Amino acid sequence: MEFSNFYTVEGLQYLNDSHDYGYPVDQSDTDKVNLLIAGIQRERDGHDKPVPGDIIEYTSRNGDYFNHAHIGHTQDDHLEICLSENIPFCYDSGKGTGYDMQEGVWTHPKKIVPEPADIRIRLFKTWGHAGRCAHGSVYFKTFVRSWKYAEPGPLFGKYTTKDWTKYFICKLPDPERKGEFTYKGDGFTLYSRSELNRLVEILHGELFNGIYRNSLVLWGYRMVWELLTEQEWNGTKAEIHISFLGDSPVKIRTCHDTHTVTIYKKK
């Protein structure tokens, strides 16, 4: 396929209007983008291993899941992986297609063999005819391969942020009750172990010791809070709880398909 068949000026303009409205795409931009796409596709022909510019679904030992991580430099099964979901800057390096993520969190796993996952459309950008200046980038999309990899020895078993939510909890000795603790999470405080156990039950989760002293990690369903008028609240069919995380009363609806717990409270 000739590179000129990938994008027309009109098609590239339509895409760029949704990212940087007002940038006037011209034929030189279109030719440059189509040459880059031809190179990206050529570099994947006949290769059964990851190449720079591919996507990897990366899961760390502590359960953090990155759906759209970027594969950078590759050599002898050593990969440079940017975990941040930035848009790669793409250019012709003279030896092939080069990529620049500029900012992001990187990891450098050694001797890994990712599993093939799928073919995905990926968004890139490059300098347009206006040159290196503010709003001078041209955006384009093309197909790349995606891969899967999970670091060995997961700390929390089956739990990852792909399907579950991770809550960090600090366990603090209660100054007024000997042997008792207060449990502080992000946006909530529990004043007894029985309250904590009840939260674990409602979120259909599991509690683990954290890596720091007096820290806990609760894996469970994601909590979604919704404010309703009294009329809406009365008409909502859900399980009523006299109190939940300091609010009372509330109604709670659980969706096992999406691992979501929705909490309805009155305005």
Contact 185, 168 (CB under 8 A): yes
Q: For residue 265, which of 242, 246, 247 has the smallest C-alpha distance? A: 247
Distance CA 60, CA 22 (A): 40
Exposed, middle or buried by CB within 10 Å (0-12, 13-18, 19+), for 170? middle
pTM surpassing 0.85? yes
Distance CA 240, CA 210 (A): 32
pLDDT at position 3 is 39
> pLDDT tens digits, residue range 128-174?
988 787 778 999 999 999 999 999 999 999 999 999 999 999 999 98
> pLDDT tens digits, residue range 208-247?
999 888 999 999 999 999 999 999 999 999 999 998 998 8
Please, which pLDDT band fits residue 5 given cuts at 50, 70 and 90? low
Backbone φ, ψ for residue 158 (5° rounding): -75, -10
At 237, list the tokens. 């069919």
Distance CA 134, CA 78 (A): 35
Exposed, middle or buried by CB within 10 Å (0-12, 13-18, 19+), for 146? buried
> pLDDT tens digits, residue range 21-47?
778 999 999 999 999 999 999 998 887
Q: Where are the domains of the chain?
A: 3-150, 163-220, 221-267
pLDDT at position 47 is 79
Distance CA 166, CA 182 (A): 19
